């Protein structure tokens, strides 16, 4: 989570080192910057390649800059060296009041000598950056979206040349900003269109741009209006509960999902006849969601799917065989969910999906520490959807102690509480994590470690035995009470 990277230390360092970081333009130069924007629905993927050259020996910390609006919409940010799989260390320094941008430092794998070069690839996923236009559409109409962004990539370094490519999923681009009145930094046509790709630039000899003066005088705004024939999905809220049971050797996962189609709202009334006719002729409404296909873990069983009305039978599960823990496999169980009604633009659908899995596929035992180690999937990906708010709750066995957990990325906030259910004596420890704006990049694993002595396993049978003995004693005493009227 991008927002959760903010910390007091980073803000302190910004106040102390901020001017020095911005003036780091003397240690690097951008020989080229190429930004590629892959337009979509709820998610937009942006890849920016920086061809950097060191201007002095020992240059290793490269500074990135994001505009305020871009930072606010960026849910995922990752940096790599081109052609390499290793993710580089990335630290956020927060907002620079003098520069008018958010600053990050990327640590290169090796310090560069003077005139040494490297190709840095920065990938981001933006959320809530597109919106339907027009915002209403009839049932049989197409759907179009608008995307807005800044023209120039900000950087505290001098840039020799840069260009931006915006790619639409379809060649049907209704309109785009032409920049006829903007001829700074360019000697050629400022914008060209070829098929589904719009190219802005090249722009030459751009001075350090992560400052308020440049942003106010030179930065331009770009709007692209394009056709999009898929539903725009948003998970308004996700509540996942994972319950670990050693007695049942089971991991139960239950998701409560509040799904919304945030595309163009339906104009007029919904026609079931028109819907059935379009399905028959293979021309479904582009903004409609008829069904969902989810990839669930292998080896699951006892799956269930219900909504506010009750059980939904219009679903189909294809279970993949169980995969032992630690074995690399691409096997997934496939769940095909068909809601009670097609989800049109602006419509919501709330449902609950759950399943059981063998605990052995997720749990292990560390002999050195005497702890159990359990890996809990953070979320199930819904293709093309952003999860606005997520609450992940992991319920441990009763009596678990020495609890620790390691999420794949920091949460907004977390807490440890006690979850009480039937036949519990002291309750079960529960870890709760909160996130915002989750995407497909966030589908990691939360690792939980804890101790569960053998004595804790006896709590449940002792509670059951105590309950039966209590009932027996109450019944035994009741038989000896004379309630007859004399």
- The string of pLDDT tens digits covering residues 186-199 is 877 789 999 999 99
Q: Could you say which DSSP state residue 369 is in?
A: T
Residue 389 belongs to what domain range? 233-458
When the pLDDT of each residue in the chain is averaged and rounded to a whole number, the result is: 87
Contacts of 474 (CB under 8 A, 6+ apart): none
Same domain, 258 and 138: no
For the chain, give the percent of residues with pLDDT over 90.
53
CATH number, position 16: 2.60.40
Residue 470 lies inside a defined structural domain of this protein: no
Flag whether 463 is in a domain. Answer: no
The beta strands (E) that lie in 195-291 are given as 197-206, 221-227, 233-245, 250-261, 265-266
Instruction: Name the token pair of 170.
Output: 């379809």
Range scoring the smallest mean pLDDT among 334-343, 353-362, 428-437, 468-477: 468-477
Please check whether residue 468 lies inside any domain of the structure: no
Neighbours of 195 (CB within 10 A): 10
447 contacts: CB under 8 Å, gap ≥ 6? 373, 374, 375, 376, 405, 406
C-alpha closest to that of 259 among 31, 477, 42, 22: 42
Distance CA(328)–CA(319), nearest Å, equals 17
Tokens of 118: 């490297």
333 CB neighbour count, 10 Å cutoff: 21
Would the CA dihedral through 76, 78, 82, 83 be positive or negative? negative
For residue 245, being part of any structural domain is answered with yes
User: In this predicted structure, what is the pLDDT of residue 486?
Assistant: 63
Same domain, 257 and 242: yes
Cβ burial of 124 (10 Å; 0-12, 13-18, 19+) is buried
Q: Which of 53-57, 175-179, 412-416, 474-478 has the lowest mean pLDDT?
A: 474-478
Q: How many CB atoms lie within 10 A of CB 205?
A: 11
Note the pLDDT of residue 13. Answer: 40
Could you tell me if 192 and 240 lie in one domain? no
Largest CA distance in the chain: 114
């Amino acid at each position: 989570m991008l927002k959760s990277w903010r910390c007091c230390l980073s803000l302190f360092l910004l106040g102390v080192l901020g001017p020095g970081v911005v003036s780091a333009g003397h240690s690097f130069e951008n020989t080229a910057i190429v930004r590629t924007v892959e337009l979509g629905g709820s998610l937009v993927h942006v890849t920016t390649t920086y061809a950097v050259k060191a201007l002095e020996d020992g240059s290793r910390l490269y500074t990135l800059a994001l505009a305020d609006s871009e930072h606010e919409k960026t849910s995922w940010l990752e940096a790599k060296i081109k052609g390499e799989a290793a993710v580089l260390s990335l630290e956020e320094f927060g907002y620079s009041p003098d520069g008018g941008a958010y600053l990050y430092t990327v640590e290169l794998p090796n310090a560069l000598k003077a005139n040494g070069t490297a190709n840095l690839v920065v990938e981001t996923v933006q959320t809530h950056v597109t919106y339907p236009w027009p915002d209403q559409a009839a049932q049989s109409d197409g759907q179009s979206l608008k995307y807005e962004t800044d023209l120039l990539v900000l950087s505290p370094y001098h840039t020799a040349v840069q260009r931006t490519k915006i790619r639409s999923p379809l060649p049907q681009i209704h309109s785009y900003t032409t920049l006829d009145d903007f001829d700074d930094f360019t000697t050629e046509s400022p914008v060209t269109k070829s098929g589904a790709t719009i190219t802005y630039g090249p722009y030459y000899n751009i001075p350090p741009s992560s400052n308020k003066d440049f942003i106010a005088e030179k930065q331009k705004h770009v709007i692209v209006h394009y056709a999009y024939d898929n539903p725009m999905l948003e998970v308004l809220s996700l509540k996942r509960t994972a319950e670990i049971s050693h007695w049942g050797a089971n991991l139960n996962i239950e998701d409560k999902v509040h799904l919304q189609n945030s595309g163009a709202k339906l104009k007029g009334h919904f026609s079931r006849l028109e819907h059935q006719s379009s399905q028959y002729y293979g021309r479904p409404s582009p903004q409609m969601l008829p069904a969902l296909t989810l990839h669930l873990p292998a080896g699951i069983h006892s799956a269930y799917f219900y909504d506010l009305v009750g059980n939904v039978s219009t679903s189909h599960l294809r279970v993949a065989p169980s995969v032992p823990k630690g074995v690399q496999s691409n096997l997934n169980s496939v769940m095909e969910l068909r809601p009670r009604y097609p989800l049109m633009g602006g419509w919501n659908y709330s449902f609950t999906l759950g399943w059981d899995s063998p605990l052995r596929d997720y749990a292990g035992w560390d002999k050195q520490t005497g702890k159990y180690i359990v890996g809990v999937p953070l979320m199930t990906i819904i293709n093309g959807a952003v999860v606005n708010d997520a609450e992940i709750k992991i319920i441990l066995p009763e009596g678990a102690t020495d609890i620790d957990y390691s999420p794949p990325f920091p949460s907004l906030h977390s807490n440890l509480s006690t979850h009480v259910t039937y036949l519990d004596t002291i309750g079960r420890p529960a870890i709760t994590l909160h996130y915002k704006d989750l995407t497909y990049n966030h589908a990691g694993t939360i690792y939980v470690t804890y101790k569960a002595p053998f004595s804790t396993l006896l709590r449940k049978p002792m509670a059951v035995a105590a309950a039966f003995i209590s009932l027996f004693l109450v019944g035994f005493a009741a038989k000896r009470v004379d309630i007859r009227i004399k």
